[in-house]
Structure 1
Amino acid sequence: MTPPKTIRAAAIQVEARVADIPWNIEHASRLVDEAVDRGAELVALPEFFTTCIVYDERVFGCSLPPENPALDMLKEKARRHRIHIGGSYLEMRDGDVYNTYVFVEPDGKVHRHDKDLPTMVENAFYVGGDDTGLMETSLGPVGAAVCWETVRTQTVKRLRGKVGLLMTGSHWWSEPGWNWARGYWQRFHAGNGRLMERTPRTFASLIGAPLLHAGHASVIEGGFLVLPGTRLTAPIRTQLMGETQVIDGEGRLLARRRYQEGAGVAVADLQLGAVQPRAESPPRFWIPKFSPMLYFQWYHQNAAGKSAYRWAKRTGRLRTWDDGRNARAAAERL
């Protein structure tokens, strides 16, 4: 492990849009500049900073090739400002799409981690990876973990005691905005918020490393897949839960931005380096105990999303954003 080093760290909260990659990259770029203006040398963007994820068939065309405008933006910021920066987006390689977390160093070196298991409707848009998320960098060993990777014990087993920094981010949904059983959904939203709030601190305590967590604060609309094997949907409108946080190696909160505060930056001085983990991982698959509704959604939406992914791939709808842009341009010329 590397000796302790104190660094100015910033976690960014975005208000991204669905399937608007150019706008979202520019939005993220402005927030990175804000973080740098506040002295940040280490910056975290959230999961899916190039497009929000909901069942919207435009998202099938929102994956990026390995060399892409989002990565170009991160490289340019890292080089110009001499910072380390990370975030995730949909990346297509060899015919499949992954939720790829990239961590870029000031010299342009790029590290990648593919999220291991898509969460619920995310199964419609990408498949899981199989790397450990452990990256050897000039800051020492860094662990990448994306959204619900931070609530699974298999992630703890991969990274516990092995890293001096955790780069995490999420795109954490809330209740679907349905009018029936309104009181139940309000309670669901409150409980979901408490789970999201404590997850970064719990994860840092289990791994034994400081952590940056970047989130989304948008309200998004789209579809909820109703029946696996079909594309039948019900409309939803959901709040993304934010909870952008900077956490030290002891699991203490140093800076925080709630979803109610919208887009912006949480900044704190962070001491890098591994510490003795302060918590033990439970002997089960999930770190927290979920509500019955979350368990139901996990299995139901996983199945529904996987069938949608197979359909999109089979019918040629699964494509990179550049391909989609070029196809539209070609059609306009005809």
Structure 2
Amino acid sequence: MAAVAASFDRDLEADFARIERLVAAARAAGIRLLALPEACLGGYLSSLDGGAEGPPALDPDGPEIRRLAALAEDMVVCAGYCEEAGGRRYNSAVCVTGDGVLGRHRKVHQPLSEDASYAAGDRFAAFDTPVGRLGMMICYDKAFPESARALALDGAEIVVCMSAWPGSRTNPSADLAEDRWKHRFDLFDRARALENQVVWLSANQAGSFGELRFVGSAKVVDPAGEVLAATGVGPGMAIAELDVRQAIDTARRAMGYLRDRRPDAYPPTARELALAVEGPQR
């Protein structure tokens, strides 16, 4: 499996050319699961202050998604893009193989003024793929433990988090590797993998776009929270090989964080309260 740190912008043809090269390199390395960054089709926002020109909005069943699937062939590829649906734009991710779309996700949590450019998603759901049961999230979603926990409870063995995570805006470090937002990015990756005992792929934009300087730091984390491979702050591909089921079984054999939960001691969520009152929605 591999997670990518790379730069993407508004030029869709250039983005596809870069993806084609990345997929070819992954295929040559025997990769079965490839995680590309958030907004790799059309680039991310140029600013988080609101009003920034957004990327091109794509039909979720349109030619660009079919083109991505054709490039994937027998590989499982996860990628981020701006989705147009029902007159709204979403910061979305799609998981494909050459056979078509396996799963989708719309970013739920929106930092700063991102809600001026995108509508929010409203769920986290795992789905089956040729490499195992997989869940997706986008960038700021990983700052909320409930996001990864919802996927783990839905049976996700692998979580792919696609980001356009920048360095700090208010107190930036001259050395991006020492940036405090970069440290948070890495901490969330390891914590979410460990507390849910899942395999975690973290892909991120690299380089700069508009006012944003991205921290790169793509990585693969095992269910014990250990980083198996990482790119550092520059562009690259973090590659690791492991038996997913065996790694999860080993991590959960003694300390099973999902098994040992005590839901009776936790306050119910708003959705659980609604279901208790109204019953399940059909």
Q: TM-score range by the shorter chain?
A: 0.7 to 0.9
| 1:214/1:156 CA distance change after superposition, 3 Å | closer
For CA contacts below 8 A with separation 6 or more, give which structure has more relative contact order. Answer: 1
| 1:61/1:208 CA distance change after superposition, 3 Å | closer
> Which consecutive aligned stretches of 4+ in structure 1 deviate over 4 angstroms post-superposition?
277-281
- Please list the CA deviations of residues 135-171 of structure 1 after superposition, one character each: whole Å capped at 9, or x if unmatched: 1333332111111111102213312342111111110
Q: Does 1:12 align with 2:1?
A: no
- Please list the CA deviations of residues 267-290 of structure 1 after superposition, one character each: whole Å capped at 9, or x if unmatched: 110322344377699x99xxxxxx
Query: Counterpart of 1:196?
Result: 185
User: Is residue 100–residue 114 contact of structure 1 (8 Å, CA) maintained in 2?
Assistant: yes
3-state SS of paired residue (1:270): coil
Query: Counterpart of 2:238?
Result: 266
3-state SS of paired residue (1:160): helix
Q: Percent identity?
A: 23
- How far the C-alpha of 1:238 sits from its partner, in A, is 2.9
Distance in 2 (CA, whole Å) between partners of 1:118 and 1:133 is: 18
Query: Counterpart of 1:288?
Result: none
Distance in 2 (CA, whole Å) between partners of 1:254 and 1:245 is: 7
Aligned residues: 249
Distance in 1 (CA, whole Å) between partners of 2:173 and 2:66 is: 41
Query: Counterpart of 2:218?
Result: 244
Distance in 2 (CA, whole Å) between partners of 1:186 and 1:168 is: 24
Distance in 2 (CA, whole Å) between partners of 1:73 and 1:212 is: 23
Q: TM-score, normalised by structure 2?
A: 0.79
- How far the C-alpha of 1:104 sits from its partner, in A, is 1.1
Letter in 2 for 1:245: K
Q: Write the mapping of 1:273-284 to structure 2, written as runs, cut at 5 A.
A: 273=245, 274-275=248-249, 276=252
3-state SS of paired residue (2:212): strand
Q: Does 1:207 align with 2:207?
A: no
Larger Rg: 1
User: Is residue 159–residue 207 contact of structure 1 (8 Å, CA) maintained in 2?
Assistant: no
3-state SS of paired residue (2:53): helix
User: Is residue 167–residue 181 contact of structure 2 (8 Å, CA) maintained in 1?
Assistant: yes
User: Is residue 133–residue 158 contact of structure 2 (8 Å, CA) maintained in 1?
Assistant: yes
Distance in 1 (CA, whole Å) between partners of 2:256 and 2:90 is: 32
Gapped regions of structure 2 (runs ≥ 5)? 268-282
User: Is residue 144–residue 168 contact of structure 1 (8 Å, CA) maintained in 2?
Assistant: yes
Distance in 2 (CA, whole Å) between partners of 1:207 and 1:22 is: 38
- Please list the CA deviations of residues 278-324 of structure 1 after superposition, one character each: whole Å capped at 9, or x if unmatched: 7699x99xxxxxxxxxxxxxxxxxxxxxxxxxxxxxxxxxxxxxxxx
Instruction: Flag the structure with higher helix content.
Output: 1
Distance in 2 (CA, whole Å) between partners of 1:38 and 1:132 is: 31
Q: Write the mapping of 1:292-311 to structure 2, written as runs, cut at 5 A.
A: none
3-state SS of paired residue (2:104): strand
Letter in 1 for 2:71: K
Q: TM-score, normalised by structure 1?
A: 0.67
User: Is residue 14–residue 28 contact of structure 1 (8 Å, CA) maintained in 2?
Assistant: no
Letter in 1 for 2:163: S
Distance in 1 (CA, whole Å) between partners of 2:67 and 2:238 is: 20
Letter in 2 for 1:71: I
Distance in 2 (CA, whole Å) between partners of 1:35 and 1:157 is: 29
- How far the C-alpha of 1:250 sits from its partner, in A, is 1.7
- How far the C-alpha of 1:57 sits from its partner, in A, is 6.2
| 1:156/1:61 CA distance change after superposition, 3 Å | closer
Distance in 2 (CA, whole Å) between partners of 1:46 and 1:61 is: 14
- How far the C-alpha of 1:74 sits from its partner, in A, is 2.2
Within the candidate set 192, 207, 210, 1:218 is matched to 207
Within the candidate set 12, 20, 26, 2:17 is matched to 26
Query: Counterpart of 2:32?
Result: 41
Query: Counterpart of 2:160?
Result: 167
